[in-house]
Structures are given as C-alpha cells and as structure tokens.
Amino acid sequence: MRIFQRFEVWLLLLAAGVAVWFSFKADAPSPEEDAPTAALNPDAPLQLRRATLERDFGNARLDLEVRYKNASPRPLSLQPPDVRLINAAGKDVPVFILPTERPTSVEANTTSDVRLRFWLEKPDLAGPLTLDIRGQTLEVKNSTPLDLEKLENAKPKVWTGADWKN
C-alpha cells in the first residue's frame, strides 16, 4: 500500500502533530502558576486558591481557582444564577464560556477545587469583586483600583489573595 505517498496523508499527519504540540503547550504550567497559594481556612466552604487575570486589549479574562464545599444532596453545576461575580456597582460580571468546555460541577456532599472564568471590562477592575456561590460569598478583589492599561497584553498576572496590585 502506498498510503504515505499521498499528499493528503502527510498534511493530515502534520496537522495532527501541530494540534498535539499546541495542546501540550497550553497545558504546561507557567512560572507564575507556581506561586504559593494563600493561607487558607480549612473549614471555610468557599476558598480562593488563585486568581489569574489575562488582559485582552480593552478587556480581561479572569480565571478563579476556588475550593468549594457542596453541602447539598444534589450536584451543583457552577453556572449563573448559582454562581455570580459581582462588581462594585452591584452588577454581575459575565461568565467566559468556551464552547468546547463542559460546565464545571461539584458532586453532592463533596469539596472540590474548581476553575471559574469571567470576562471583565475595564470598569470592573476599578473596585471590589465578590464571588457568590449559592449565598456563600468571597472577596476576590479588594477596593484598590487596578489599571488594566498597565498590564501587558496576553500575559497572565496571578494573585493568591484579594489584594491586587499592578
């Protein structure tokens, strides 16, 4: 069989190799992700592990890594209205959704580390941000303003507490 003499086969193999390479590159931890997490209260039902902000020109994607204890007898899908990020004006920050990702969930009567994603605009960073999951609230960012323009575009910035500084 002369399958490897066909141009389409080589093109398909090349595309598969590039896709695998990019998937490994995306999964590799950055040096900023190795930063130590903040001291946590092990009894708190909602804990902030890490906040990663990545500027995308005039907006930013916020990835929150939190530990949540679901005391409910049913699994919890971590989507609005059960999960909200509230800005200083009291408005909900929109969730950042990738069509290829399944919604994050926490099984019944378990504690899990989960990642939540939000799409922030410049005014959202002017004041505090509060995460609310079914009535459990957590201060993600304090009232100190963060200037989005001072952050480098497409370079993640990591915080392990609510005190965000440029």
Does residue 59 belong to any structural domain of this protein? yes
Which H or E run includes 8? Answer: helix 7-27
Does residue 43 belong to any structural domain of this protein? yes
Q: What is the pLDDT of residue 1?
A: 61
Q: What is the pLDDT of residue 88?
A: 93
Pairwise CA distance, residues 82 & 135, whole Å: 8
| Cis peptide preceding 103, ω within 30 of 0 | no
pLDDT of 106 above 70: yes
Give me the half-sphere count of Cα atoms (radius 13 Å) on the Cβ side of residue 89: 9
Does residue 118 belong to any structural domain of this protein? yes
For residues 53-80, average pLDDT: 92
CATH number of the domain bearing residue 97: 2.60.40
* Pair 6, 12: CB distance under 8 Å: no
* Pair 57, 70: CB distance under 8 Å: no
Q: Scan for tokens 């049913």, then name that residue.
A: 74
Question: What confidence tens digit (pLDDT) does each residue in 25-56 have?
Answer: 554 444 444 443 344 566 788 999 999 999 99
Better pLDDT: 75 or 16: 75
Could you tell me the pTM of the whole model?
Answer: 0.72
Instruction: State the pLDDT confidence band at 4, using cuts at 50, 70 and 90.
Output: confident
Does residue 26 belong to any structural domain of this protein? no
Instruction: State the pLDDT confidence band at 166, using cuts at 50, 70 and 90.
Output: low
Does residue 148 belong to any structural domain of this protein? yes
Does residue 24 belong to any structural domain of this protein? no
* Pair 133, 82: CB distance under 8 Å: yes
Does residue 12 belong to any structural domain of this protein? no
Q: CB count, 10 Å around CB of 125?
A: 21
Pairwise CA distance, residues 141 & 158, whole Å: 12
Structural domain boundaries, residue 111: 31-159
- Could you give the number of structural domains in the chain? 1
Q: How far is CA 26 from CA 19, 22, 30, 152, in A?
A: 11, 6, 9, 19
